[in-house]
Structure 1
Amino acid sequence: MATVLVSGANKGKDAQALRIGYGFVQKYLARPNTTVIGTVRDPSAASFKALYDIPKALGSSIILVKVESTSETDAIEAVKSLSTFGIDHLDLVLRNAGVVKLAAFVPVADLKIPDLMEHADVNAAGVVLLFQTVLPVLESLHS
């Protein structure tokens, strides 16, 4: 049984956006005997609920947990909650969550520091936070 964590799992379902997170979830759920753990920023979003409707191969399932990339506690709480689903290891982590604000892609002279910091918080610090949290669960495969 493979266990895959996809961050930013519900993004990209609409035609306007890239389908990366949603596409990863679809791809792994199409594999037999695969558990996909999808992280989402907003569990009240319609795109969150739509993840449950993705077709699943025999023996595959999805678990959805809330993780806001800039939160220092969300990933910790999400990983702790996995034991309630019988998850004790991860085979693969796809850190897909991120932010792109066009306001941050301007000449440096015009760049607003809050836009720059949002990118750094989500796209750099968020990667480190998730890695630090899931490392022990990834390492449990080798112990």
Structure 2
Amino acid sequence: MTRTTLDTAALAHDLRLAVMRFSRRLRSQRLDTSVTLTQVSALSTLKRHGPMSPGELAAHERVQPPSMTRVVVALEGKGLVTRTPHPTDGRQVVIGLTRAAEDMLATEARAREAWLSGQLQQLDPEERAVLREAAGIIDKLAGG
């Protein structure tokens, strides 16, 4: 193996562990634990992309449609999503967010961002500048 390959492998290892720890810590700042992370992810996708069919939501979330059906049923039971008839396909429904879901997502985001802002304030300006650049690079790696 070349030095570049070894350096890249070591970076991949270190970055994977750091991102996992960071993600776990950020998730621990959740306020409403009555909604699962899978459900929050589905709600976030609906917020980002707008109302869609359960099949489209499953594709966005990279899960099988029957799994998404269970998620949607649970979210509907909590009053967080609505089902409306599809405008052109009578066999389909469209899943959309309720006001309660929008409020919950906003509250959750504010709580996590407040925690993260506090953590960032503990860093010096140079470290924050590095993280600002790294955020764009990580988003690029994630396909964003």
Q: TM-score, normalised by structure 1?
A: 0.28
Structure holding more helix per residue: 2
TM-score for both structures, normalised by structure 2: 0.28
Larger radius of gyration: 2
